[in-house]
Amino acid sequence: MRCMAENNQQKMTLGVVLAAGKGNRFTSDTPKQFLDLANKPVFIHSALAFQSSECIDGVAVVVPTGYEEDVQSALTRFGVTKTVAVVVGGAERQDSVKAALDVGLQGRFDL
């Protein structure tokens, strides 16, 4: 079943993984979204859920500065092929959401 808009036109839908948090309350040198859970980084579980959904056409992953290459490598390693962009988040969560939405607005995605 393909996801359709109310007017029966195909939608292009962007899934967003917000993985730019600092995790200030979490006592680890590594942000918790990059720690392993069931042999995969936590953020990969979300990306794989989007990957397996026929209603999601692309994935944007928002990360802290300095994690872009590691995240892109992990997405490739775990078979996330719908990745549209890995973008750096902002100072606050709302800034990170805006960074992801900006990616969607530049493309062909319904937001």
pLDDT tens-digit readout, 31-58: 788 888 999 999 999 999 999 999 899 9
Instruction: Please give the Cα distance from 3 to 31 (Å, whole number).
Output: 34
Look-up of token digits 């078979």: 79
For residue range 7-23, list pLDDT tens digits in order.
666 668 889 999 988 77
The strands making up 83-88's β-sheet, listed across from edge to edge, are 14-18, 58-63, 83-88
pTM tops 0.75, yes or no: yes
- Going by C-beta distance under 8 Å and a sequence separation of 6 or more, which residues neighbour residue 37? 45
Counts for the chain of helices (H) and strands (E), in that order: 3, 5
